[in-house]
Chain A
Amino acid sequence: MNDSVRTNTTISSTKSLVLRFQLSAILHLLLLSFTPFSMSVTAEQHMNRAESHSLRRGMLRKLGLEHVPVQTGPSIDVPQHMWDIYDDDNDVDWVRHYYPKEIVEENDGFILAYNLSLAARNAHNEEVTKAILKLRLRRNNKTRRSGNFTIYFYKDDMNNDRFQIESRSVDNLTDWIDFDVTAAFSRRTDRISFFVELPENVEIEETQSTSMSSLPYAKAQSAPLIVFSDLSEPSSVRRKRSAQTGNSERKNRKKGRKHHINEAESNLCRRTDLYVDFDDLGWQDWILAPKGYDAYQCQGTCPNPMPAQLNASNHAIIQSLLHSLKPDEVPPPCCVPTETSPLSILYMDVDKVIVIKEYADMRVDSCGCR
């Protein structure tokens, strides 16, 4: 009985594979037949492609990336606890989620080794504010005994000097157990190793993998390390926090609407709506979340004389006057963002490192003539 079911599923999946192949072949043919045609029609489209490629690179560079991090190995979903951190507007500049590079089992526990390097290279003054080692464990036999869990970290790779960070007794193993390992991050390092001393008969849970290919991560997924940091860019002050909570989002919308009052003024410099869909821009392959956001934009004129509500700078007022004298030589002031706020994005760096990081200047809060 069981056997027949299994055969059935195999067959159906083969079928769908065949179907998929056919579809993609047809699409491919379609594309091929269109390509020479479109090439001859618009050189502009090529220009656009080059331009959009360079914009995409510009955006990646803002994160310190040269290109979209290449993922090797199986695809692993973003775990729920990272979504929780992302959704919870917790005022952190940078969150990284690592799976161990190596798990070495020993008699009384196991060693977890993490490679902390990333593809993103930004010279930041990073300050680790919190580091959590998350473990999902199970007991081999049914006995309900509590035991002591002790976390050590190795001061360096060379010798086996290890320091105890936390030790506590845990009874309930059904859920994640979080250990605060912030103390291990007192200095900057690219690799970090922990030794986890376990009570008898306790071992790392193996994730029920959905595919054979994710098997190497079966244990790794039960021992992630999450590092929270603040980034202080030198010579700059902390920006406005990302407006991600529903509350401030609503406030933002309201702010935008405030300007719609007078029809006659509608052409003056002001903030208008602009929704960004990352799918639309073709950036969904690296920006896993959000799917899109309200970016807003600044549109409208900066006339001379400048009405007070346009929030013009002294320089803009002078420039506006000079433009009125010599319109061909001096451009008028521009309607541009005067206040912006950042947006937290979630992306996957190399080696399945899941990163939540702030993109500065992503959302327009107010506009003015500059």
Chain B
Amino acid sequence: MRIFLLLFLVPYLHSKGIYLIEDRDGQTYTQPLTGQSPQKIGEQIRELFNIDINPSEPPVKTNPYVSTYMKSLYKQLDSYEHGENHDEDEVNAWLSADRIVSHMAQEVSQRLDDGSYRIRFAKEHVPSKEGQSILRAQLRVHIQGIVSPIFFYIEDTNLASDTVLVSSKDPTVVSDVTTMVDRWSHLQLSTLPIITARASTENKLNIEAFLVIALKDEEAGPPKRRSRRAATASPISSSPMRQKTKRSESAYFEKRNHPPSKSDITHLSADANALCQRKGLYVDFDTLGWKQWVIAPEGFSAYYCSGACSAPFHKTMNATSHAIVQSTIHLVRPNSTSPAKCAPSHLTSMKILFVDQKKNVQIKRYRDMVVDECGCH
């Protein structure tokens, strides 16, 4: 319901950047948070996101195959996160990545005399081993100029020993090159080995190739949740409630351009007696000047937790045993401890699809970025 109402408000918020959202008496109220220039806040948020973009300049044009593929990957990850069935191992590798980077080949040769094509990647495209590990690497070759189905064969990639049949209907060859890229990352060479591909045709083919690499930060960032939560290390949430929220969220992005009907942008009530609960907080990338660089999403609901943690603890307040113990001590000996505090009890990650300054399309995941549940701690 909350999300639904939001649809009509969003177009009014274009110059606001970040705003608070509150449902009261069946209506949604919003309040812009940014008194200062959104660009300035955007700068600080960009720093937090550690995102390699430059909002003051238009982004460089990217290869359409790469951006199309990365968009579809982003969507696919989204649907997997929302509980769609999947082949566990393979998908989990992509889902658990902190960063998915794409790199166009530096050079793909024309058809050589021996009928082969040479694909070369730049050394800088291989991720360094420092502070991160390679979960998966994929070589995607897009072939143009296929008249009738051809056999295509990629050498040097360990796994792609099989020759594949490619037709103009589906002219993409995908090869798992995880071991190869991993091997590359250990090499102390100034240039990388060249990948040779062969096609069973004498026609001149136009070949474009790019790598997609899933990386995981070695020190998995700050998300040291309590051990129970470690179970949700893979970002697939099992609770149907959570799925629901997220689904409506994506619906929200899709329908953002709907015409507005009515909006109530007023100041939020400051209810000091409110119980600990999750409150709306939306960060709009568009107005931070990120629109050109960030392909998706257009913004995200971060939420925050606020409210009192005093007895009686309502069920929705998710009080931990320690919170109850501490509150009781506070009651008996007020000086020895403070009352329990309202804070997130479960956070989920969010991801951004963007073009970095080096023309690479990236998917970056931020753990513990969105409040899923609040509770008394």
User: Which residues from chain A sit less than 8 Å from chain B, CB to CB?
Assistant: 48, 51-52, 54-59, 62, 235-237, 239-240, 274, 276, 280-281, 283, 295, 297-299, 311-315, 317-319, 321-322, 325-326, 328-331, 333-340, 359-364, 366, 368, 370
**Cα A274 to Cα B306 with chains together (Å):** 25
B368 with A55: CB separation less than 8 A: no
Q: How far is the CB of A82 from chain B (nearest CB, A)?
A: 22
The answer for the CA separation of A235 and B370 in the assembled complex, in Å, is 20
Query: Known contacts being A58-B319, A315-B370, A336-B377, is A330 close to B222, with CB within 8 Å?
Result: no
| Interface window among B7-15, B81-89, B136-144, B320-328 | B320-328
B154 interface contact, C-beta 8 A: no
- Point out the residues of chain A lying under 8 angstroms from B228, CB to CB: 236-237, 239, 360
Q: Check: B261 CB closer than 8 A to any chain A CB.
A: no
Give the contact stretch, choosing among B109-117, B166-174, B308-316. B308-316
Nearest neighbor of B304 in chain A, beta-carbon distance? A319
Q: How far is the CA of A303 from the CA of B335 in the complex (A)?
A: 23
CA of A362 to CA of B370 in the docked complex: distance in angstroms? 26
Q: Which of B145-153, B188-196, B252-260, B336-344 touches A?
A: B336-344
Q: Which of B41-49, B55-63, B209-217 contacts A (4 or more CB under 8 A)?
A: B41-49
B341, A325: Cβ atoms under 8 Å?
A: no
CB contacts (< 8 Å) of B320 on chain A: these are 337, 340, 360-361
Tell me whether chain A's interface is mostly helix, strand or loop, or mixed: mixed
**Cβ of B328: which chain A residues have Cβ within 8 Å of it?**
52, 55-56, 59, 281, 283
Greatest chain B CB density within 10 A among A58, A274, A299, A363 is at A58
Candidates A318, A326, A329, A334; contact of B377 at CB < 8 Å:
A334
- The chain A residue with its CB closest to the CB of B323 is A361
Whether, in the assembled complex, B20 has its beta carbon less than 8 Å from a beta carbon of chain A, the answer is: yes
Q: Across the two chains, which residue of chain B brings its CB closest to A63?
A: B321
Interchain CB contact under 8 A, B322 and A295 = yes
Selecting from B29-37, B66-74, B127-135, the interface stretch reads: B29-37
Grouping DSSP codes into helix (H, G, I), strand (E, B) and loop, the B interface class, with mixed when no group exceeds half, is mixed
How far apart sit A295 and B321, CA to CA, in the bound complex (Å)? Answer: 10
Do B224 and A315 touch (CB < 8 A)? no
A281→B329 contact, CB < 8 A: yes
Q: Is B105 an interface residue (CB 8 A)?
A: no
Q: Please, which residue of chain A has its CB at the minimum distance from the CB of B47?
A: A321
Select the residue from A299, A311, A336 with max chain B CB neighbours within 10 A.
A336
Taken together as a complex, chains A and B put the C-alpha atoms of A274 and B336 apart, in Å, by 8
Q: Which residues of B contact A319 (CB under 8 A)?
A: 302, 304
Interface residues on B, range: 35 or more
Q: How far is the CB of B305 from chain A (nearest CB, A)?
A: 8
Whole-angstrom distance from the CB of A233 to the nearest CB of chain B? 8
A329 in contact with B322 (CB, 8 Å): no
Is B331 among interface residues, defined by CB-CB distance under 8 A? yes
Report B's interface with A, CB cutoff 8 A. 18, 20, 31, 33-36, 41, 44-45, 48, 221-228, 230-231, 238-239, 268, 270, 281, 283, 302, 304-306, 310-313, 319-322, 324-329, 331-333, 336-338, 341-344, 347, 366-371, 377
Contact B33 A326 (CB under 8 A): yes
| Contact between B302 and A315, CB atoms less than 8 A apart | yes
Is there contact, CB below 8 Å, between A334 and B226? no
Given contacts A321-B44, A337-B322, 16 further A-B contacts (CB under 8 A): A54-B312, A55-B311, A239-B227, A274-B326, A280-B332, A297-B326, A315-B344, A315-B369, A322-B18, A325-B36, A325-B41, A331-B306, A334-B377, A337-B377, A360-B320, A370-B377
With A281-B332, A315-B371 as given contacts, are A295 and B224 in contact (CB-CB < 8 Å)? Answer: no
Contact indicator B48/A338 (Cβ below 8 Å)? no
Partner of A337, one of B44, B226, B238, B313: B226
Q: Which residue of B lies closest to A56 (CB)?
A: B328
Contact in complex: B326, A295 (CB < 8 Å): yes
CA distance A321 to B36 in the complex (A): 13
A274 touches B33 (CB 8 A): no
| A58 lies within 8 A of B377 (CB) | no
- Contact (A315, B226) CB under 8 Å given A281-B332, A370-B344: no
Question: Does B343 contact A370, Cβ atoms closer than 8 Å?
Answer: yes
How many angstroms between the C-alpha atoms of A42 and B319 in the bound complex? 28
Q: Which residue of chain B is the closest to A368 with respect to CB atoms?
A: B224
Task: Please pick, from B45, B324, B332, B337, the residue contacting A318 in the complex, using a CB distance under 8 A.
Answer: B45
Tell whether, in the assembled complex, residue B332 and residue A52 are in contact, meaning their CB atoms are under 8 Å apart: yes
**Can you offer 11 A-B residue contacts whose CB atoms are under 8 A?**
A51-B331, A55-B331, A56-B328, A58-B313, A59-B321, A315-B304, A321-B48, A331-B305, A337-B377, A338-B225, A370-B343
